[in-house]
Amino acid sequence: MNTRVLCIEDDQDIALAISMVLGRAGFDVVQAADGNLGLRIFHAERPDVVLLDLGLPTLDGWGVLERIRDLSDVPVMLLTAHGLEVDKVRGLSLGADDYLTKPFGNAELVARVQALLRRSRAARPEAEVYQDALVELNFGSREVRVGGDLAALTPNEFRLLAALVRHAGQTLSAEQLLEQAWNDPLHVGPERVKFAVMRLRRKLSQGDGDHMPIEAIRGFGYRYVAPPDRRQPPSNRRQGPADRRGRPAASVRSAGGREPDRNPRS
C-alpha cells in the first residue's frame, strides 16, 4: 500500500498542486478543505503523514493540530505563510514535526515529506498486536481474541475496541469515539456510542466474567483498563499504560520485533 498523505488546505490551487506533485512521487493524497472534515478523514483513513494549513474554515489549523495530538503522534507538517516566525515556534511547541513556508517548490515538498516519514518511521515502528490478559487485538488482520477465543466483532465494534485499547488507561469522550470508529460521525449521535459499547462489553464479558475492561466514566466517556495479568510478561513486549500504575497488564508487539524506543505523545 502506498504511503497516505492527508492534506488539509482550503486554498484550492495549493491543494491541487500538492496532490499532483505528491501523486507523481508515488503518494496517495487525500484532501480536506476545512478543519472538521480534515479531522474526520484523519480518523477514518489513518494517514501516514498530515500536511496542515493554519488558516482553515470550521476549525483552524491550531485546533486541528491539538485534536490530532490528543490521540496520535502521526507526523504533521504545517503549511505556514511566508515570514510568520511566531507561527513556526507555536506550531513546533504544540507538537508539529516540521513546517513548510508557502510558496514552496515541488522538489522541496517531496523531499521534506520523505524526510519527515523517514524520521518518524525510525522513531516509531507500527504496533501490530495489542495484548493483555483478556484481549488480543491484531490491527493488521483485524482478528480479536477474548480469553483466547476468536470474537466475532462487527467492523464498527472492531474500530471502537481498537480506539479504546490504543489509548488504554485514557478516557475518550463519545465525540472522540465517534470520530475514530464511525465513518459518518456527523449523522450519528452519542447514543450510538452508548449502545455500541454495551454490545462490545457483552462480547468481552464472554471471556472473563471477573473483569470488564471498558469502564464508563460518567460525564466524560469511556476508558479501557487492561485486566491484571497473573503471568510473567514476556521480555520482548512493551508494557501497556496500566504498567505505569505499577501493574504489568498489557503489551503491544511491534512490527519486525523491534522495541519502540519512544512513547506516544500524550
List residues binding Ca ion (CB under 5 A): 10, 53, 55
- Smallest gap from Cβ 12 to Ca ion, in A, equals 10
In the structure grid, which three cell numbers stand for residue 228, read together? Answer: 491484571
Cβ closer to Ca ion: 102 or 244?
A: 102
- Smallest gap from Cβ 14 to Ca ion, in A, equals 8
Cβ closer to Ca ion: 83 or 256?
A: 83
Q: What CA–CA distance (Å, rounded) separates 100 from 211?
A: 48
Q: How many residues can be counted in the chain?
A: 266
Q: Is 50 exposed, middle or buried (0-12, 13-18, 19+ CB in 10 A)?
A: buried
Cβ closer to Ca ion: 53 or 132?
A: 53
In the structure grid, which three cell numbers stand for residue 90, read together? Answer: 507555536
Report how far Cα 5 is from the mean position of its chain's Cα atoms: 14
Cβ closer to Ca ion: 61 or 207?
A: 61
Phi/psi of residue 191, nearest 5 degrees: -60, -35
Q: What torsion do the CA atoms of 56, 62, 67, 72 make, to the nearest 10 degrees? A: 110
Within 10 A of 133 (CB to CB), how many other CB atoms are there?
A: 20
- Smallest gap from Cβ 60 to Ca ion, in A, equals 9
Report how far Cα 65 is from the mean position of its chain's Cα atoms: 12
Residue with the closest Cβ to Ca ion? 55
CB 91 within 8 A of CB 80: yes
Quote the DSSP letter at residue 243: G
Give whole-number Cα distances, 90 to 93, 95, 162, 264, in Å: 5, 9, 31, 20
- Smallest gap from Cβ 37 to Ca ion, in A, equals 14
Cβ closer to Ca ion: 12 or 266?
A: 12
- Smallest gap from Cβ 38 to Ca ion, in A, equals 12
- Smallest gap from Cβ 56 to Ca ion, in A, equals 6
Cβ closer to Ca ion: 38 or 221?
A: 38
